[in-house]
Structure formats: structure tokens, C-alpha cells
Amino acid sequence: MKTKEIFQLAINKGIEADFREKEGVERFLKRKREKYEKLSEKEKEEFDLESLENPYLDSRILHIAEDKEIKKVLVGIDIEPAEILLAKEIGGIDLIIAHHPLGKGLAHLPDVMDLQCDVLNYYGVPINIAEGLMKERISEVARGLNAINHQRTVDTAKILGISLMNSHTPCNNLAAKFLKDLIKKEKDNLIRLENLLNLLKEIPEYKEAMKIGAGPKIFVGEPERKCGKIAITEITGGTEGSPKLYEKMATAGIGTIIGMHISEEHKKEAEAANINVVIAGHISSDSLGMNLFLDELEKRDIEIIPCSGLIRISRIS
Ligand SMILES: [Fe+2]
């Protein structure tokens, strides 16, 4: 497989696991094409054409140094110039795969946040409320990312002649789908938060994170509290949503949320809304999603070297 095929595989896996399902993703892309057609010639020149095909603009091919068969990849959660130097030092690395967005993927992170509206709607929050509250939050995230030095790592990869791509939301979709299916399968046994916590602790990535003190934890609620309806609203969709959503989630009948991480402001709002929050863990959840994609590469005989926090667990038997 070459870099473009690996990247397309990540996108396809992300679509398969998407809360919106294939039809919903196609509608999202169709709407972008319709908007593009209406642009003036000048506006079309400025338009990012990749957005007509790729529903996850936080995930990109950032540099192809040599368009060759990929046999060995260095994969990490955060790739910075240090990891590019590491690849050079190891030698024989055909491609680096990052999880967190880099370069123009990072600049376009807010674009994937619309997905959260559909996830919230899936769990019963009216779409108008989800869209209204997310609109404000998406523009806040966009302003925050504006000041970042987006290209630093990409520039290092270019100078050292190393191919680089990242897969963020496609992999987070895989992690969310994995957890959603597990919760559905085990729902009769998930009465109290302690049951949910114990279930998460059985997942190898979280079990490994527990060894360094970063395992699943209850951030809001008590072990003996009942879970109620469990929602996976904070695993995929770019980054944290609006703190004003917790009250709306409670009204929609959600009792417990499983998230990767939570800020203090969001935690306080969840508490005020009496929503339980179980934090599975950030890097371990990122690893879970990456692993489900990396298994596809392993099946194709690509050697994977994990770095930068990635807890590599293979599910290929
Ligand atoms: Fe992450």
C-alpha cells in the first residue's frame, strides 16, 4: 500500500463507524459540493477542494516524500519534530502516522465538530438545540486554533524527507463505535457506575493505562449511582462541545456520559445537570481508535512501531 491508499483506508473505516452512517456522511459531502458550485470563480480558487471528498478535514496527508510501498510505519498520538527526528534515527521508516491533527488538518479541526450535533441528536437532543449551541462553540475553537504554529512539524518532515499523515476523527469514530457496541451488548449488566467502570477496565488499552495511573475514572457521580441511559457523546467530533449542552442532555434523558477527557468548566455544568461523567482516559481512548485502524495495516503486513503515548494492542488473532 502507498500513503494515499493507507489514508483512504482510514477515511473509509471512519465512515463505516460514523454515527451519521454512510448515507449521513454522503449527505454532508453533497451539501459541500452544492455550496461549492454556488461560489464565484475567485472564491473557488480559495476553496479547499479536498473538502469535497474527505468528510474529516482534521485528517490529512501532510507530506509525501517518496511515493513508494509502505512497509514500516512510526505511529504516535502526538507527532512533533522530536518524533520526526526519532524516525530518522530509527531509519527505514516509510511513513509517520499521527493521531492528533497537524498542519492544515489542525487548522480545519472545527470542520468536524458538526458531527457532534448528529451524535447528540442520535441520543435524543433536538437537532436545533445541538446546532444552536455548537455553532457558538465551533467558532470559539476556530479562533483559538488560529494563533497556532500549524506547520512546525510538517516543515520538519519536509526538511528531513519523511512522509507524514494523520488520522483523527476517523479513528475517534472507531473508538466511539467500539464503545457504543460494547455498551449495547452489556447494557443489562450496566446498572451502576461501578459496573460501567469495571467494564471499561477490561478493555486492554485502559487496563494498560491503569498501570501508569491514567485508567478510567468517575469524574461526576458515585460508584453506587445508577447509570441510566449511557451516551458516547464525547469520544468523537473534534474536541469538547458546548458546556451548555449538559442541561439539554439531561432533558433528553441521558444519565451518564462516557468521555475521553473533561475540562473543569464542563465538569461543573455536568454536575449541575446531575449527569454522571465517566472519563475513560484520553491517550488510551485515542490508542483504542488508532489500534482498530492499525490492525488493518497489520493485516496487510505493514510493520508498526508505536511511539508518543500510543498503547499498541493488536486485535488480530
Ligand atoms: Fe485526543
pLDDT tens digits, residue range 220-252? 999 999 999 999 999 999 898 999 999 999 999
pLDDT > 90? residue 18 = yes
What residues have CB less than 8 Å from 140, skipping those under 6 apart? none
When the pLDDT of each residue in the chain is averaged and rounded to a whole number, the result is: 96
Q: How far does the centroid of ligand 1 lie from the alpha carbon of residue 290, in Å?
A: 10
pLDDT in tens, 41-94: 999 999 999 999 999 999 999 999 999 999 999 999 999 999 999 999 999 999
Q: How far does the centroid of ligand 1 lie from the alpha carbon of residue 254, in Å?
A: 23
pLDDT at 317: 83
**Average pLDDT score over residue span 119-147:** 94
Lowest mean pLDDT among 132-136, 194-198, 228-232: 132-136
pLDDT > 90? residue 208 = yes
- Sort strands 72-76 and 254-259 into parallel, antiparallel or unpaired: unpaired
Strand spans (E) along 116-199: 164-166
Q: For residue 295, how many other CB atoms are within 10 A of its CB?
A: 17
Q: How far does the centroid of ligand 1 lie from the alpha carbon of residue 233, in Å?
A: 14
What residues have CB less than 8 Å from 21, skipping those under 6 apart? none
Q: How far does the centroid of ligand 1 lie from the alpha carbon of residue 100, in Å?
A: 6
Confidence of residue 100 (pLDDT cuts 50, 70, 90): very high
Residue 118 CA to residue 307 CA, distance in Å, equals 33
Q: How far does the centroid of ligand 1 lie from the alpha carbon of residue 42, in Å?
A: 36
Q: How far does the centroid of ligand 1 lie from the alpha carbon of residue 235, in Å?
A: 9
- Sort strands 303-307 and 254-259 into parallel, antiparallel or unpaired: unpaired
Residue 174 CA to residue 7 CA, distance in Å, equals 15
| CA 215, 182, 176, 305 torsion-angle sign | positive
Angle at the Cα of 62 from the Cα atoms of 61 and 68, rounded to 5 degrees: 65
pLDDT > 90? residue 165 = yes
**CB-facing half-sphere around the CA of 63: CA atoms within 13 A:** 22
| Nearest to 230, CA basis, from 172, 271, 292, 181 | 181
Confidence of residue 279 (pLDDT cuts 50, 70, 90): very high
pLDDT in tens, 20-43: 999 999 999 999 999 999 999 999
